Amino acid sequence: MVNFLETAKQISAKKVHELANKIKWKVKSLWNNEWYNKLNAIDKAIALSVDEFSLCIAVYDSKEKRDEGIQKLSQKYDVIEIELEQSTLRIMPRILEEMENISSPKSAIFVTGIEGINVETVFRNANENRESFYKLKTPVVMWCDSATFNRIIRVAPELRSWASNPL
């Protein structure tokens, strides 16, 4: 009888472990599918905005995923990546400064480093001067984590509504 109970416990433990691994794989798979769907949406936004301005806010869960997304999209499009420094007070002058230093038009502008800036000051200003973004004849993708995105929508609701759905 004791052997039967021990065998049953071993079988149960093994089944529980197998089931846990299946669930973990499915959750990871769903998360990866969601991320790739976001990348596909960004890809489409860039493709549909050739020679015209559009704003996309790409929300990521980890810098590794952000870097992976930037790398994949950079393989397909000729992009310029602008990393905002902590001292950045205005986005548009920073973008225009970088655009002056390039010789050929880019398919998109990727803005990173948003988590490190004073979001309230920078995006309040960007919100007030959002019409100036139309000077850009290329899509702008702003990459940020979800906490920063929540701060952006709080201080710059018009800019947020002006952008495509957050991805």
pTM: 0.77
CA within 13 Å, CB half, 122: 21
Evaluate if residue 151 carries a pLDDT over 60. yes
Query: How confident is the model at residue 126, as a pLDDT?
Result: 87
The tens digit of pLDDT for each residue in 10-37 reads: 556 566 556 555 554 444 444 467 878 8
The tens digit of pLDDT for each residue in 97-136 reads: 888 888 788 899 999 999 999 999 998 998 888 888 888 8
Query: How confident is the model at residue 61, as a pLDDT?
Result: 87
**Sequence-distant (≥ 6) Cβ neighbours of residue 59 within 8 angstroms:** 38, 144, 145, 146, 149, 166, 167
The tens digit of pLDDT for each residue in 30-65 reads: 446 787 888 888 999 899 988 888 888 999 989 999
Q: Is CATH 3.40.50 what the domain over 2-162 is classified as, yes or no?
A: yes
**What residues form DSSP beta bridges with 12?**
none
Ranges of each domain in the chain: 2-162
